[in-house]
Structure 1
Amino acid sequence: MHPAGVFILLAGAFLPIMDFFITNVALPSINSSLHASASSLELVIAGYGVAYATLLVLGGRLGDRYGRRRIFLGALVGFVLASLACGVSPSVGALIAARIVQGATAALLIPQVLATFHHALEGERKARAVALYGATSGIAAVVGQLVGGLLVSADIAGTSWRPIFLVNVPIGVVVLIVAARIVPDTRSHHPVGIDLPGTVLFAATLTALLVPLTEGHSLGWPWWTWLMLAVAVVLGVATYVVEKRTERRGEVPLLPPSLLRLPSMSRGLAMVFVFSIGFGAFMFVFALTVQNGLHVDALHSGLAILPMALLFFAGSLVAPRLITRYGRAALSSGAVVQLAGIVSLVAVLLGNWPHVSLWAMAVPLALVGAGQSMLFAGLFRSVLADVPTHMAGIGSGVLITLQQSGLALGVATLGTLYLALAPHNVAHAFAGVEYVQMGIVALLAVGAAALPRFDKATPAATPVVDA
């Protein structure tokens, strides 16, 4: 593969990952422009995440079967068009619908990147490309809010929040033109079948769970929200039963029960899931706290997260070596550092509210970013520790699916808690959410001891959606 092909593929991966988080700092502007309810704003975030999570494995399998470059280019076209639809949306309903389509196309696009690296590169070039992907995916999550703040504050031609989506159009077109020329076309010689029933049931389960959680509070919890939660439980059980039967027939389901029973998967996925709930919620409520509570503009709201972004990036570079050397202790240490950052951040906000300087939050946020980078790298590595080599791609798909589901659920649950408390006191609302996250991080610090042992023979987990 042409050396520039690596960076073109990384650019294609950066946009969808960034787009999950770039919207956070634009929520007040979207609210002002489209007169959106609080629950609708949550759906702007969570709708993208649900579509992304439920179709991710399907995207990988389509690339295996029909060619990864073809799916990458087609998905990129869809992502650009969906971004354009987001940018010109006349109502919040249209924006939510466009965001769901955007998340679906992102789910088809992302798996092709790592799978292409896996099949088109060898040795040191492959290792370097995968390492760059890890750094890209981590930093894109945090940088999204910084870029979002810059674009919203620029208010280009009076368009307010719309450039955060429209910027994807020219960048996507450039990536599309170059990728069509230099990205090689690869496919699996033994493609795994597409588990349509499992995909539909899993998507229905997430939808039935997240819709009432996001809409329930603002509507006063009508009867249908409780009915949907009950249906979500039924659908979840049905998903497990169908997936188990699919595996017994010798087919490969979306979420293979045999993989989920492996110690590394069962323990590691649970930790990845709760970590993602906390991460998604933190990014959502921090942006709203800074803008709505401290009345900071979108630019400074984005800049406020910069210390976290820088330490997350730096931590991502050194985490693999520290994890190889110190094993599970490195994960526990990362959790302790993150916990210290959250505690000090809450203390700064409560102690100085409403006259909180963004500089006063810099060190706590830096600690949060450093700790998160260690957990992010270590948990991804641990999940695949016991997975057979021939199932690594499928295991990685399950991992990323649960990660994205956790991000969306964090916004729907802890985000709803924040929105319920914020009208009374914004600082205490933020603290209330962070008290829950403190418990999550404390559990992660202790739970790291239950993960499989790390050793130098265990490669860093690289989510490659390919069998």
Structure 2
Amino acid sequence: MHSLCLHLIAGSIASWDKGEFFLEVQTTSSAPLLERQPDPRRWLMLAVVQCATLMGVLDGFIVNIAAPSIEQQLHASFAEVQLVIAGYTLAYAVLLVTGGRLGDLYGRKRLFVLGVASFTLFSALCGLAPTAWLLIIFRIVQGVAAALMTPQVIAFIQVSFATAERPIAFGSYAAIAGLASVLGQVFGGFLLEANLFNLGWRSIFLVNVPIGIAALLCALPLLRESRLPGARNLDHGGVTLLSLSLFLLVFPLVLGGEIGWSLQVVLCLLLSVPCLIAFIAYENRMTRSGKLPLVSFSLFRQRYFPSGILTIILDSALADAVTFLLTFYLQTILQFTPLQAGLVFLATSASYILASSLSPLASRYLGKHCLLVAGALVLLGNLSVLLSAQFFVPRLGMPPCLWRSFSQESAWVH
């Protein structure tokens, strides 16, 4: 229910706009609408670019389910395993905006092909990594590749579909992300249990290779090239300030708990505030001078855009942390197999697909009240989980596997 309501909120924000700011939803710029005859192959092309969405989301979820196996087979520390996951997220977050702007400048098809090719290559290298630190390095570069290809998917929807078609296209984007989350948990657990060709955890990275190759072979002849008219130079000052700000913000939040909240880590977090202020001031000056900024702050004057950003931040911050910790809890403490642990997440992941499909319909009937209804359902869902835990845990008692472990330790002591 929690994931369903979050996606209803996001869907209502994206859909209830009467076509006024869909083009500015991408994190990179406010490119103008291309008033031209729609390409009759646009739905086929959408299926091709959605391969990037599938790989990007799949890779995040599938690594979570494989984290305990990576820790055991590579003899990695918990900090190193966390870096395998966090390194990808950090690189992706820092360079996502820049990746979108590069597509505006040098061509979205070109950046999409470059991103997919790089992502596929470094997926293969992750699957072949002999040490934990090489795996961390390959994952960071994989995050850079994801930051190049993912914004081009959003841009493609904006420039290829008419206003009336965009809610459906964006709904399919979210539905593919939900499908990938399901595959990441369940298919990832299946791959680990099946241990095909004795690859173990390596198969979770190598599965991206055939998807990436298929996407490349279809993208080259099918996709149209497009750029942002009037975009000539990259806003190097904006790129530098934003990348520095995001790194100083994300690095302590991701790794502070593991490496310790030392003075240097706290300083990084504090310095991110003046850096973000400097970035905003610099971008506003670029706008006033008539130049093209890296980020158009006119986005935030739209009534629903800030709400959508806040929803995504809360969703990612809470859901990703719970998924990472719950994966270790299920497999290490409760002794679940990877496939069983993946099935635990199935209901939550499936709700992403359901919510993505229902969000255009819900926003059409509920309009501006959709946000309030979905927020109330989120609170109700969380309260139901807490009440259920209070009711069932005392009655079910200790899980059997923990009871056996406790009994063996007691017998050894006596």
2:152 alignment partner, one of 87, 99, 112: 112
Q: Would you say 1:332 and 2:375 are equivalent positions? A: yes
Distance change (3 Å), C-alpha of 1:256 and 1:64: closer
Distance change (3 Å), C-alpha of 1:216 and 1:17: closer
User: Alpha-carbon deviation of 1:126?
Assistant: 4.9
Q: Would you say 1:247 and 2:287 are equivalent positions? A: yes
Distance change (3 Å), C-alpha of 1:220 and 1:114: closer
Q: Would you say 1:310 and 2:354 are equivalent positions? A: no
User: Alpha-carbon deviation of 1:219?
Assistant: 4.1
Q: Kindly indicate whether the alpha-carbon contact (under 8 Å) linking 1:86 and 1:95 is maintained by their aligned counterparts in 2.
A: yes
* Residue equivalent to 1:52: 92
- Give the TM-score normalised by the residue count of structure 1: 0.69
Aligned pair count reads 357
2:334 alignment partner, one of 283, 287, 294: 294
* Residue equivalent to 2:4: none
Q: Describe how 1:214-233 pairs up with structure 2 within 5 A.
A: 214-233=254-273
> Structure 1: where are the runs of 5+ without partners?
358-467
Distance change (3 Å), C-alpha of 1:211 and 1:356: farther
Q: Would you say 1:355 and 2:399 are equivalent positions? A: yes
Q: Describe how 1:83-122 pairs up with structure 2 within 5 A.
A: 83-122=123-162
* Residue equivalent to 1:9: 49
Q: Kindly indicate whether the alpha-carbon contact (under 8 Å) linking 2:105 and 2:231 is maintained by their aligned counterparts in 1.
A: yes
Counterpart-to-counterpart distance in 1, 2:253 and 2:264: 12
* Residue equivalent to 2:191: 151
Amino acid at match of 1:338: G
Q: Kindly indicate whether the alpha-carbon contact (under 8 Å) linking 1:89 and 1:95 is maintained by their aligned counterparts in 2.
A: yes
Amino acid at match of 1:61: R
What's the CA shift string for 1:178-200, capped at 9, x where partnerless? Answer: 22122222233333753332223
Q: Would you say 1:132 and 2:172 are equivalent positions? A: yes
* Residue equivalent to 2:65: 25
Q: Kindly indicate whether the alpha-carbon contact (under 8 Å) linking 1:61 and 1:192 is maintained by their aligned counterparts in 2.
A: no
Counterpart-to-counterpart distance in 2, 1:162 and 1:333: 42
Q: Kindly indicate whether the alpha-carbon contact (under 8 Å) linking 2:193 and 2:338 is maintained by their aligned counterparts in 1.
A: yes
Amino acid at match of 2:176: T
Secondary structure at the aligned position of 2:201 is classed as coil
User: Alpha-carbon deviation of 1:263?
Assistant: 5.0
Distance change (3 Å), C-alpha of 1:108 and 1:355: same
Secondary structure at the aligned position of 1:208 is classed as helix
Q: Kindly indicate whether the alpha-carbon contact (under 8 Å) linking 1:54 and 1:199 is maintained by their aligned counterparts in 2.
A: no
Secondary structure at the aligned position of 1:90 is classed as coil
Q: Kindly indicate whether the alpha-carbon contact (under 8 Å) linking 2:186 and 2:339 is maintained by their aligned counterparts in 1.
A: yes
Larger radius of gyration: 2
1:163 alignment partner, one of 194, 203, 222: 203
* Residue equivalent to 1:418: none
* Residue equivalent to 2:110: 70
Distance change (3 Å), C-alpha of 1:275 and 1:347: same
Distance change (3 Å), C-alpha of 1:213 and 1:296: same
User: Alpha-carbon deviation of 1:145?
Assistant: 2.0
User: Alpha-carbon deviation of 1:321?
Assistant: 1.8
User: Alpha-carbon deviation of 1:168?
Assistant: 0.6
- Give the TM-score normalised by the residue count of structure 2: 0.77
Amino acid at match of 2:138: A
Counterpart-to-counterpart distance in 1, 2:299 and 2:191: 43
Distance change (3 Å), C-alpha of 1:170 and 1:178: same
Q: Kindly indicate whether the alpha-carbon contact (under 8 Å) linking 2:74 and 2:132 is maintained by their aligned counterparts in 1.
A: yes
Amino acid at match of 1:106: A
Q: Kindly indicate whether the alpha-carbon contact (under 8 Å) linking 2:79 and 2:259 is maintained by their aligned counterparts in 1.
A: no
Distance change (3 Å), C-alpha of 1:41 and 1:252: farther
Counterpart-to-counterpart distance in 1, 2:244 and 2:388: 37
Counterpart-to-counterpart distance in 2, 1:179 and 1:121: 17
Q: Describe how 1:176-195 pairs up with structure 2 within 5 A.
A: 176-191=216-231, 193-195=233-235
2:213 alignment partner, one of 151, 170, 173: 173
Amino acid at match of 1:339: N
Amino acid at match of 2:374: L
User: Alpha-carbon deviation of 1:163?
Assistant: 0.9
Q: Which has the higher contact order (CA 8 A, sep 6+)?
A: 2
User: Alpha-carbon deviation of 1:125?
Assistant: 5.4
Secondary structure at the aligned position of 1:23 is classed as helix
Q: Kindly indicate whether the alpha-carbon contact (under 8 Å) linking 1:58 and 1:199 is maintained by their aligned counterparts in 2.
A: yes
Amino acid at match of 1:95: L
Counterpart-to-counterpart distance in 1, 2:131 and 2:209: 20
Q: Kindly indicate whether the alpha-carbon contact (under 8 Å) linking 2:178 and 2:351 is maintained by their aligned counterparts in 1.
A: no
Q: Kindly indicate whether the alpha-carbon contact (under 8 Å) linking 2:108 and 2:225 is maintained by their aligned counterparts in 1.
A: yes
